[in-house]
């Protein structure tokens, strides 16, 4: 992790759950919370990713990580995760809804299942996990939810329309929950990260090296984002106790300059 502007005990005693936390950005979120004193749990579909991710966090921070296999598309599986954290911690202070799925596919050729798979993970999954953890968040200290969106959630998301529609829904849900849960002591915010070259993003969204350069060319900052710097934005939202219903855009100015997924998607999918 790079240098943090935050005190290393900023989240001492906080209990944090990151979905999709076994790999990529989610793992960086978990590690950064742990590095600032939090107890962390990571949950995803893949037990091997979770075990490797937990070991990475423990090696880096000395913090033991709770792991739990979950499929955010399955309400029973989500309920089992909530029951485990209730018996382990009794409350939750920070929920990061990071689990996602995405692939290029033009709408005219997209099957019902392809649409459903992404919307079910991203939008319905965020609803399901947030609702299931509402009772634990109510018992949390300065509790908050951070939902991960994308800068194609406003404007258009050609060739990733399932993801765009789902992320737009998550953004609206963020604001609705911010109002519904303000009086319950739970803040709800969204982070719109920049493009981070995780293994998953490379495999699914920009498989060829020249594509990475094409994306970089659309970012006014002149470089891709790092998972660690995105993690600091999540911590900032979780720590900002008068901020709710906000979407923090940390994309190096990319959305103001244009959307690269149109050009890339055309290359990959047309
Ligand atoms: N292009 C077109 N359709 C695709 C696809 C692709 N690359 N990947 C999945 N689909 C379709 C499948 O064909 C299937 O539809 P069908 O039954 O009509 O054939 C439907 O989506 C569900 O696919 P399936 O593989 O059964 O779903 P899954 O639950 O195993 O996986 C995802 C769905 C989205 C999770 C998976 O594609 C995935 O892992 N994506 C990458 C993960 C990711 O996005 N990581 C982060 C990078 S940003």
Share of the chain above pLDDT 90, in %: 89
Query: Where residue 2 falls among pLDDT bands split at 50, 70, 90?
Result: low
152, 159, 242, 262: the catalytic one is 152
Instruction: Kindly report the pTM of this predicted structure.
Output: 0.95
Determine the pLDDT at residue 209.
Answer: 86
pLDDT of amino acid 191? 99
Which atom of ligand 1 sits closest to the CA of residue 198? 47
pLDDT of residue 265: 77
- Does 262 qualify as catalytic in the annotation? no
Token pair listed for 21: 């936390």
Residue 4, pLDDT score: 94
Determine the longest span between alpha carbons in the chain, in angstroms.
Answer: 51
Atom of ligand 1 nearest to the CA of 101: 44
For residue 159, what are its two tokens? 């060739």
Q: Is the beta carbon of 243 within 6 A of some atom in ligand 1?
A: no
Residue with the smallest CA separation from ligand 1 atom 48 is 201
Task: Reply yes or no on whether the pLDDT at 36 is more than 70.
Answer: yes
* 118 close to ligand 1 (CB < 6 Angstrom): yes
CA distance 184 to 61: 32
Residue 1: is its pLDDT beyond 70?
Answer: no
Asked whether 163 lines ligand 1 (CB < 6 A), one says no
* Residues 146-183: b if buried by 16+ CB within 10 A, e if exposed: bbbbbbbbbeebbbbbbbbbbbbbbbebbbebbeebee
């Amino acid at each position: 992790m790079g240098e943090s502007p935050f005190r290393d005990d900023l989240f001492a005693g906080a209990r944090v759950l990151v979905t999709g936390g076994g790999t990529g950005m989610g793992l960086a979120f978990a590690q950064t919370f742990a590095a600032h004193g939090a107890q962390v749990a990571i949950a995803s579909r893949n037990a091997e990713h979770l075990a490797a991710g937990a070991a990475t966090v423990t090696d880096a921070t000395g913090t033991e990580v709770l792991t739990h296999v979950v499929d955010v598309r399955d309400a029973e599986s989500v309920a089992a995760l909530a029951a485990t954290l209730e018996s382990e911690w009794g409350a939750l202070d920070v929920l990061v809804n990071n689990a996602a799925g995405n692939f290029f596919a033009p709408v005219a050729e997209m099957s019902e299942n392809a649409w459903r798979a992404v919307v079910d993970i991203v939008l319905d999954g965020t609803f399901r996990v947030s609702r299931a953890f509402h009772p634990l968040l109510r018992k949390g200290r300065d509790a908050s939810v951070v939902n991960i969106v994308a800068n194609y959630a406003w404007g258009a998301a050609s060739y990733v329309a399932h993801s765009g529609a789902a992320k737009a829904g998550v953004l609206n849900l963020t604001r609705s929950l911010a109002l519904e849960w303000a009086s319950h002591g739970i803040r709800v915010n969204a982070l719109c990260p920049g493009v981070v070259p995780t293994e998953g993003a490379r495999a699914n969204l920009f498989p060829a090296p020249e594509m990475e350069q094409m994306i970089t060319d659309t970012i006014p900052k002149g470089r891709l984002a790092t998972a660690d710097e995105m993690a600091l934005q999540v911590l900032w939202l979780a720590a900002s106790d008068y901020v709710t219903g906000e979407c923090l855009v940390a994309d190096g100015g990319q959305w103001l300059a244009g959307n690269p997924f149109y050009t890339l998607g055309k290359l990959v999918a047309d």
